[in-house]
Structure 1
Amino acid sequence: MASTAFYKLNNIWKSNRIMKDTKLKLFTSNVRSVLLCASETWRTNQRIESKLRGFEGLRLRRILGIRWEHRVTNKEISERTGIRPVVNEMKKRICRWLGHVLRMSKSRHLLIALTWNPQGARKKGRPQGTWRRSVESERMESGKTWNELNSLAQDRCEWGKYVGALCSQEDYG
């Protein structure tokens, strides 16, 4: 979908008459918004993050006119464009959505699903990654317990500060 959104604007990316700042605003508003549509509900892993970084890096290189032999890093591209890495934006959206879910009343299905622990054994093999497991790993990295996150989420201002601090670390991978 995002690739289609990018290629529909191919004439704009190739044009020498349009300034790069305008192209970057179009990229952010039209392509990146499609790329990150509903990303707050995705389970994350290194493979998905790598694909997102690769997609964004290729498209921004194309807009900036950077060819593969120039060997420009993703960090340099982010600094040139002023666009935060797509993985950071996705993690920020996930954290904001988590806060929204934690503020819901105890009878809401989303909150019940977040805290539900199904009984029984899974089939043999590697366990499937889930949204809850990816959020759990982020929670453990931050060093907070679920109770601390829950009480923090009840105050929107404090939750916003927490999300801002958590997602401010640059991730160029």
Structure 2
Amino acid sequence: MTERTRSRVKAAEMCFLRKVAGLSLRDRVRSSVIREELGVEPLLLCVERRQLRWFGHLVRMPPGRLPREVFQARPAGRRPRGRPRTRWRGYIFTMVWDCLRIPQSELAYVAREREVWGPLLELLPPRPDPG
């Protein structure tokens, strides 16, 4: 998910939450206060938790399953000029490092352990905003 998409999702979510709380932007109430008042966790946190849960499924899949094969595939050939596009794999590794401080080399081992991975995702803190 790009930063632009993240920003737009947060803005739309806060628009909905403000309407539910009966507030407008003119009331100048912080988003964190509205969220706390309604008892709602950030939507992006839910999305990231689901993505990491799917990653755990991918890691534990038996060899030969199509989703796992696609995830592990490495296309051959030349890449286009310029900065490489962010792939889902890189996005997941970055997210796990930002939130849980698990290095890429150990991530697959941790995700294979269902008893460790599931509770770890429930403790997932919100990602820090860049900048």
Instruction: Report the TM-score range of the alignment, normalised by the length of the smaller protein.
Output: 0.7 to 0.9
**1:3 matched residue in structure 2:** none
Q: Which amino acid aligns with 1:140?
A: W
The one-letter code of the counterpart of 1:148 is E
1:162 deviation in Å? 1.7
Trace 1:87-106 onto structure 2 (pairs within 5 A): 87-106=44-63
TM-score, normalised with respect to structure 1: 0.65
Uncovered stretches (5+) of structure 2, i.e. residues with no partner:
none
Query: Does residue 1:170 correspond to 2:126, yes or no?
Result: yes
Runs of 4 or more, structure 1, over 4 Å off, are: none
| Structure 1 Cα separation of the partners of residues 103 and 60 of structure 2 | 16
Q: 1:144 aligns with which of 102, 106, 123?
A: 102
Q: How does 1:2-41 map onto structure 2 within 5 Å? A: none
Residue 152 of structure 1 aligns with an amino acid whose one-letter code is V
- CA-CA distance at 1:111 after TM superposition: 1.6
The alignment covers a number of residue pairs equal to 128
The two structures, once aligned, show a CA RMSD in angstroms of 2.1
Relative to structure 1, the CA distance from residue 172 to residue 83 in structure 2 (aligned partners, 3 Å threshold; closer, same or farther) is farther
CA deviation profile, 1:46-79 (whole Å, cap 9, x unmatched): 1111111111100110111111111122211110
List gaps (5 residues or longer) in structure 1. Answer: 1-43
Contact 1:53 1:87 in 2 (8 A): yes
Percent of aligned pairs with the same residue?
27
Partner SS for 2:36 = helix
CA distance in 2, matches of 1:115, 1:159: 20
Write the distance in 2 (CA, Å) between the matches of 1:139 and 1:78. 24
Seen in structure 2, the aligned counterparts of structure 1 residues 116 and 151 have a Cα distance that, compared at 3 Å, is same
Bigger CA radius of gyration:
1
